[in-house]
């Protein structure tokens, strides 16, 4: 397994190699970072899996569009997520060798789904909350999960879809991590956890605690028993407003 971490928000692209195929998650972001991923690909069948279609996770699509793509079925309801990539590229003068194209999903995941590969079993788990198209992928024999934009060490839950669904999804993740003895976590942003189920469960409990505080109307909610850091206060206030709108 190789994790490529972008300098943009420490966004993780993950490459997992099997005997006959390889799996690439969320190839992103800058051209030189994507080029490094391309150099590392083995000469094997490629499957590209998208944890969700937020723009910072999909910028490398065109460079790997020859691969078989898997993602949540809700991705097709998004209004051209590549448009935000184009906007960012224009603002910051990011030059690419290929046109970004339109994100394509060949195999859509609607509900919990199990898929056998040459040397592992993949289990796809929809986990709506951050967005409605979020999906975690478990490698059951490797005892790892590529989680998407949940359980980061850099940030509390960012709610763009549903706080209630977010809580339900974290509870579901907790159950599956214990059931399948998962001990390695690759989040969408920040540091992975290797060989420590207790650390993974601690991240889940910290995120649940924050969400429960907000749901109870606590605008001064702590995260990991600490005040919200200044650079994340706008996002925390956006969560408060989002939940207030949900209640209304």
pLDDT for position 248: 75
State how far the Cα of 248 lies from the Cα of 243, in Å rounded to an integer.
9
- In this structure, the strands spanning 184-187 and 144-148 are parallel
Is pLDDT of 29 > 80? yes
- Say if residue 116's pLDDT is above 80: yes
Alpha-helix runs per DSSP H in the chain: 31-40, 82-91, 163-179, 197-215, 233-247
CB atoms within 10 A of CB 225: 7
Instruction: State what percent of residues in the chain have pLDDT above 70.
Output: 100
Residue 190 φ/ψ, nearest 5 degrees: 95, -160
Q: Which long-range contacts (CB under 8 A, 24 or more apart) does 95-100 make?
A: 95/31, 96/31, 96/62, 97/31, 98/62, 98/63, 99/62, 100/59, 100/61, 100/62
> Nearest 5°: phi and psi at 160?
-120, -5
Indicate if the pLDDT at residue 19 is higher than 90.
yes
Q: Give me the chain's average pLDDT, please.
A: 96
CATH number given to 2-247 = 3.60.15.10
pLDDT reported for residue 216: 93
pLDDT tens for residues 214-231? 999 999 999 999 999 999
CB 19 within 8 A of CB 118: yes
What pLDDT was estimated at residue 247? 81
Single pTM value for the model: 0.95
Q: What backbone phi and psi angles, to 5 degrees, belong to 129?
A: 155, -70
Q: Give the pLDDT of residue 102.
A: 92
**pLDDT 10s digits, 35-79:** 999 999 999 999 999 999 999 999 999 999 999 999 999 999 998
Q: What is the pLDDT of residues 133-177, one digit of tens each?
A: 999 999 999 999 999 999 999 999 999 999 999 999 999 999 999
**CB-neighbour burial class of residue 39 (10 A; exposed 0-12, middle 13-18, buried 19+):** exposed
List the chain domain ranges: 2-247
């Amino acid at each position: 397994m190789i994790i490529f971490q972008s300098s943009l928000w420490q966004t993780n692209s993950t490459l997992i190699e099997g005997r006959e195929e390889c799996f690439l998650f969320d190839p992103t972001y800058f051209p030189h970072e994507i080029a490094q991923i391309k150099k590392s690909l083995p000469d094997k069948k490629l499957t590209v899996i998208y944890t969700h279609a937020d723009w910072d996770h999909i910028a490398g699509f065109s460079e790997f569009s020859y691969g078989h793509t898997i993602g949540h079925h809700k991705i097709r309801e998004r209004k051209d997520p590549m448009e935000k990539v184009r906007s960012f590229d224009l603002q910051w003068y990011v030059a690419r060798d290929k046109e970004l194209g339109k994100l394509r999903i060949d195999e859509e995941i609607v509900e919990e789904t199990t898929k056998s590969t040459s040397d592992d079993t993949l289990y796809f788990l929809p986990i709506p909350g951050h967005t409605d198209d979020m999906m975690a992928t478990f490698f059951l024999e490797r005892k790892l999960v590529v989680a998407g934009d949940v359980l980061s060490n850099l940030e509390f839950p960012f709610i763009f879809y549903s706080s209630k669904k977010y809580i339900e999804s974290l509870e579901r993740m907790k159950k599956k991590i214990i059931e399948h003895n998962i001990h390695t976590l690759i989040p969408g942003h920040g540091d992975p956890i290797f060989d420590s189920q207790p650390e993974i469960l601690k991240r889940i409990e910290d995120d649940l605690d924050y969400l429960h505080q907000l749901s109870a109307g606590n605008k001064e909610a702590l995260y990991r028993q600490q005040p919200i850091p200044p650079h994340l206060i706008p996002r925390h206030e956006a969560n408060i407003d989002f939940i207030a709108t949900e209640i209304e």
